[in-house]
Amino acid sequence: MIRPSRGIERYHATIAWLGSFTMSRRHLFVRRSLAFALSISLAGLAACSMKDKETAADTAPPSRGDTIVPGSDRDAGPVAEAPAEPEAAPIQSVTSEVKRAAPPPPLMGGYHPGAQEMVASAAPMSGALYDKRARIASTSPGALVAGKADVYRYAQMHTNTENYAHMEGNPVKQAAAEPVSTFSVDVDTGAYSNVRRYLNQGSLPPADAVRVEELVNYFDYAYQPPADKARPFAVSTEVARTPWNPETYLLKIGLKGYEAPKNTRPPANLVFLIDVSGSMNSADKLPLLVSSLKMLTGQLRDDDRISMVVYAGAAGVVLEPTPGSDRAAVLAALEQLQAGGSTAGGQGISLAYAMAQKSFIKGGINRIILATDGDFNVGDTRVDTLKDYVARQRSTGVSLSVLGFGTGNLNDEMTEQLSNVGNGTYAYIDNIQEARKVLVEQAGSTLFTIAKDTKIQIEFNPAVVAEYRLIGYENRMLKTEDFNNDRIDAGDIGAGHTVTALYEVALVGGKGLKMDPLRYSQPAALADPPSAKEFAFVKLRYKLPSEDASKLIEIPLARAMLDKAGPASPDFKFAAAVAAFGQKLRHGAYLGDFGYERIAALASEGRGNDAQGYRVEFVNLVKTAAALDGGVKTSAAPPAE
């Protein structure tokens, strides 16, 4: 066997180095470009080195284990350049076909009449094994010789370009200076399954991949449901001592959505918007995506409608609106999907909204389900531009949810924020079990919204509370005045959803304070009745799905809850353990010496009724993180600025 040249060995080391360190988003392009340049130049160097070795060995017979390169002087056949890998040829032809097709529609332009023809012309790309970067390599001057594609794929495989929005943890605030805290609810769970994926693959997740509230809200809690449909959710509160700081208290606010039986939900008009670009060509992407949507298809009723839009280098419709009774047609459309080409995500979103309007059901569920790794690279790919477009579409009555897939190039910032502004939810599908949880067990929550623009505002009484800190929800914070403004968008709650928020609270005169008391504040003057009997006042605003005016819920929290705080319930213990774990992974500054072992012990105490085994799995993930945090391996996915 011919030994790789020293240049190739240095190349491998350089690529591994490029993929191992964290860089800001503004330098991400530089890193990608450098990796690409190295892959092409050093692949050529490898080819030259191999050619030199073959020439030097011309007079010697081939020994056992030698590799005969097609087209070399030692090949028995005619002298010719080694052909490229079979998959590379369709890519080049697809590129030329797409260039000859009609130009793609603008992001804001809706359906383009030539879109289906563009997809049809791009059909040869089906089955291609290269993503957008490999396509560039295959169409660069000089055909790929045997081995070059493998070298380039190695570079691609070892370059981690996952993208996460940067977040600073919520700070401690003094109630005397800032008594009001306002935020939007969040029912997303994508961060938890993504963290699980990192840990199961042997890495600690990047801090910005950890959204604590999504970890906490991944789990169901035994909150009391609403008594009837008149109010879409019920509110529960509980207070206990903070596990990581016995001098402070944890306040838990829980919401439980109304459980709507499957046969009572409105009919659904769903558009599957599916990324079939080259970057989706791996087992944890398109094949898992297809299996996941097959599961969802099995949950649909005969009066539902399903459409399917795909996008790669262009976007097109592969399934016109089809009744839920014709499941065979939906499954057949899913079965034919294959990956290849670049990623015109913006064009796909525009076409999906046009399809949703085409089969709009008045009074029904009208939702786009975008399934992607979020690696858009054709057309306008700016997050803010796409968010603005999706936000404008809310007024049409069509919502957008996102299912994230894959590793290595996951654009979590894009997928999570599009679902936020699209009145939808974000879930990350790391395995088929997660697909079943999201699309089968929680199909009602995923599809059927029972309350929209749901906001929570808490006013703390400075006479009782000295300091407070909201745990998580960093990218859901609102201004105080936003609470009463019905034009401000906020989170939606699906049927049966549970939402949990945790505040750490330090009392006036207590030992758990992080800051010195304000010299000129006079909290005693604020202690006149009835405020002396309350430590906080909770308000919630929400809208019914068909209404534009919000409704208000008000709940005073008695000071006696603090005085009589007893042992935490099992659910409270478990939620506190999950919150502590999220803070630990984010390198939080408020846990003290509360480490993994104590987090796992607290979670074990709160296992309760764990029929699906999700809580046991969590305890095992904590133990895995403890082992990895000893310096074994740390993820180098670059956080965004």
H/E run at residue 253: strand 245-257
469/594 same-domain check: yes
At residue 512, φ and ψ (nearest 5 deg) are -95, 20
pLDDT for residue 13 = 53
616/470 same-domain check: yes
H/E run at residue 492: strand 491-494
58/197 same-domain check: no
User: Sign (positive/negative) of CA torsion 625, 627, 630, 631?
Assistant: negative
- The encoded tokens of residue 113 equal 């009449």
Q: Is residue 485 part of a domain?
A: yes
Q: Is residue 593 part of a domain?
A: yes
Q: Over the range 525-553, which residues count as b (16 or more CB within 10 Å of their CB) and which as e?
A: ebeeeebeebbbbbbbbbbebeeeebeee
208/77 same-domain check: no
pLDDT for residue 529 = 55
Q: Is residue 423 part of a domain?
A: no
d(CA 335, CA 303): 23
- The encoded tokens of residue 471 equal 């745990």
480/623 same-domain check: yes
Instruction: Write the single-letter amino acid at 454.
Output: T
Q: Is residue 281 part of a domain?
A: no
Q: Is residue 55 part of a domain?
A: yes
Of 82, 106, 122, which residue is a domain's last? 82
Question: Shortest CA distance to 255 belongs to which of 278, 281, 223, 227?
Answer: 223
Of 82, 114, 136, which residue is a domain's last? 82
Low-confidence ranges of the chain (pLDDT < 50): 1-5, 8, 11, 15, 17-18, 20-26, 28-31, 42, 45, 47-51, 53-157, 525, 527, 631-641
76/179 same-domain check: no
DSSP code of residue 300: -
Of 27, 47, 82, which residue is a domain's last? 82
CATH number of the domain to which 513 belongs: 2.60.40.1230
Say how many domains are in the chain: 2
492/622 same-domain check: yes
The residue segments making up the domain with residue 474 are 173-260+450-628
Q: Is residue 293 part of a domain?
A: no
The total of other beta-carbon atoms located within 10 Å of residue 174's CB is: 21
477/621 same-domain check: yes
Q: Is residue 267 part of a domain?
A: no
Residue 97, classed as helix, strand or coil, is helix
pLDDT for residue 271 = 97
Q: Is residue 251 part of a domain?
A: yes
pLDDT for residue 38 = 52
66/178 same-domain check: no
459/600 same-domain check: yes
pLDDT for residue 260 = 81
User: Sign (positive/negative) of CA torsion 10, 13, 15, 21?
Assistant: negative
- The encoded tokens of residue 159 equal 């370059």
pLDDT for residue 55 = 47
pLDDT for residue 10 = 53
